[in-house]
Structure 1
Amino acid sequence: MTNKKKTSFKRTEKYQRTGYKFIAPGLLMMVLLIIYPMLYGAYLSFYNTNLVNKWKFVGFKYYLEAFTKPEFYTSVLLTFWFMILVVAGHFVIGFLLASTLNKKFHGRTIFRVIFMLPWLFPETVIALLFTWIMNPMYGVLNSILKSLGIISSNVSWLGSAKFAFPAVVAVCIWKGYPLVMTMILSGLQSISHDLYEAAEIDGANKWQQFLHVTVPGLKPVMTTTLILDSVWWFKQYTLVYTMTGGGPGTATNLISLNIYGTAFNDLRFGKAAAWGIIVFVICYLISKLYRMVLKDD
């Protein structure tokens, strides 16, 4: 090997070592905060344990229970229904607002900031705010609806099995639509206006332009957004727990709340870990399904 090649090889090795040093802190944090907890959770799922003085190996018992007991099925199906309604609401509102904000009009920037506000507030703050708004005694929602003649007496929005689930879904839609709105808006702005002009010259109407220009242009953004939004709200915990705690009864007992109660109320950490692993697999399958359905031809 010539001296020139040796020098080049050493320089490349030096650059590689420098690169490893730069990524080492991030990699270490990923291992400590993501990979290790996941591996430890998988380990716990094989034990009946309270993490203190009880460690009994049970193998795949909790995994089998999840597929044989109706408690798990009921909670997962409720979570799927919750996710479908929330994500659908996000995309309907997000697409309508993104389409409007993509047009040129006076004060557009101000409206973009205003419509982004729900996403900027912490989930706990929003949950407490809407708990106050929906309070059956002094909540402003009942006052407004009574003044409009829609209801004649106060409604316990979060204390009724009939209204708690729709109320929580509505709040989650309001909280999460800005993410979808922003992603779709960025996708709309990335589509060249020349494509619309060419389609118009070819005789395409607005609907045909939407189907053959807008939809294909938004497909990559829509796929990513759909996966992120679905997984995020499938494992939603904070908003629902703060507003209803999973009640009344099991009306809003999503799988995330069920897992939390199993671990920290019943102190059955092994069972909770097993169910958490199953939820992780479900979220992975959701993303794979979306990619299969929305893949490019």
Structure 2
Amino acid sequence: MTQMSKTTVAWYLLAPMMIIIVGVAGYPLIKTVYFSFTAAHLVSPDTSDQWVGLTNFLKALGNAKFRSSIGNTVYFVVFSVSAEILLGVLVALLLNQEFHGRTLLRALVILPLALPTVVNAMMWRLIYGPDFGALNALLTQVGLLAEYRSWLGDPSSALTMVALADIWKNFPLVALITLAALQTISRDHLEAALLDGANAWQRFWHVVFPAIVAPVSVALVLRTIEAFKVFDIIYVMTRGGPASSTKTVSFHVYQEAFAYMRVGSGASYALIVVLISAALIAVYLKLLQRQGETA
């Protein structure tokens, strides 16, 4: 079989999948781009033909609520992803040690990751409850709180509490990826470093860290992308409130397009989110490429 025929067969095999991808992802993307330049409204279908050019994008960039949602999203991403990476690495280092019950503990760590996001959100909403919440009960019994507090009803704490719920669910992913990388480290290298007089920090920095930095970087990329487009946990726990303090960009897009039914402006918001996400991905891929070249 010639090289050309192999290529032809490959294209024939890939064709069904490519057709599905174009139909499922390509067509909606094209329609979103089109609607972003129109005054499309769900109540008035005829408005989808009213061309407005860049008006939707200019209004989006000048919308104070949209800029605020970007700020909320950045805070959520930085806080949750940083905590997930730190907690995941620490838990992986613990689970990599030899101790009785390690297998059971490894299984328990996976449980939050196995929970559906909606179930996780509902569970934490009950924990944060202002009347019968377990968190208020615990903190008042140990003397850290004088009275029950509405954690999700306070604009100063709501987004942080939602982020903590997200951290609890997703840090096991980082822990599992890091633990898999730790299993590849030769004990001979650690023992050699110990014989050379290296302390625990020096062994971690010079032996362990180089082995886990690439997998942890991949986890960082995955979690940043997922955290930036967070929607479901916000929708279930707070609906973007109170006073829009937990409204993220994805929730803002949802409200604009489906709650207010302004499809045109909602599409422009969605494209801005896509462009920001693409920029983040490009930066991460560049950093990973540089890391691979220096490794």
Mark yes or no: TM-score above 0.5. yes
Amino acid at match of 1:246: G
Higher mean alpha-carbon deviation, 65-74 vs 178-187, is at 65-74
Task: Provide Cα deviations, 1:98-148, integer angstroms capped at 9, x if missing partner.
Answer: 001112222222211111111111111111111122211222222222222
Counterparts of 2:112 and 2:279, CA distance in 1: 29
Task: Provide Cα deviations, 1:1-58, integer angstroms capped at 9, x if missing partner.
Answer: xxxxxxx339x72x55554454344333322222222222112111110242322111
Counterparts of 1:151 and 1:20, CA distance in 2: 65
1:46 aligns to what?
A: 37
Task: Provide Cα deviations, 1:138-170, integer angstroms capped at 9, x if missing partner.
Answer: 222222222222222221111121221121111
Q: How does 1:1-297 map to 2 (within 5 A)?
A: 8-9=1-2, 13=5, 16=7, 19-51=10-42, 52-55=45-48, 56-293=50-287, 295-296=290-291, 297=294
Q: 1:204 to 1:144 in 2, by over 3 A?
A: closer
Task: Provide Cα deviations, 1:39-89, integer angstroms capped at 9, x if missing partner.
Answer: 221121111102423221111112222333322222111100110000011
Counterparts of 1:286 and 1:220, CA distance in 2: 17
RMSD of Structure 2 on Structure 1 (CA): 2.0
Unaligned runs of 5+ in 1: 1-7
Unaligned runs of 5+ in 2: none
Counterparts of 1:191 and 1:291, CA distance in 2: 25
Counterparts of 1:184 and 1:109, CA distance in 2: 16
- Aligned 8 A contact 2:56 2:265 in 1: yes
Q: 1:37 to 1:150 in 2, by over 3 A?
A: same
Higher mean alpha-carbon deviation, 159-168 vs 286-295, is at 286-295
Q: 1:147 to 1:261 in 2, by over 3 A?
A: same
| SS of residue matched to 1:267 | coil
Seq. identity, %: 33
Counterparts of 2:112 and 2:76, CA distance in 1: 19
Counterparts of 2:200 and 2:138, CA distance in 1: 39
Q: Which consecutive aligned stretches of 4+ in structure 1 deviate over 6 angstroms post-superposition?
A: none
- Aligned 8 A contact 2:84 2:167 in 1: yes
Q: 1:292 to 1:205 in 2, by over 3 A?
A: farther
- Aligned 8 A contact 1:223 1:291 in 2: no
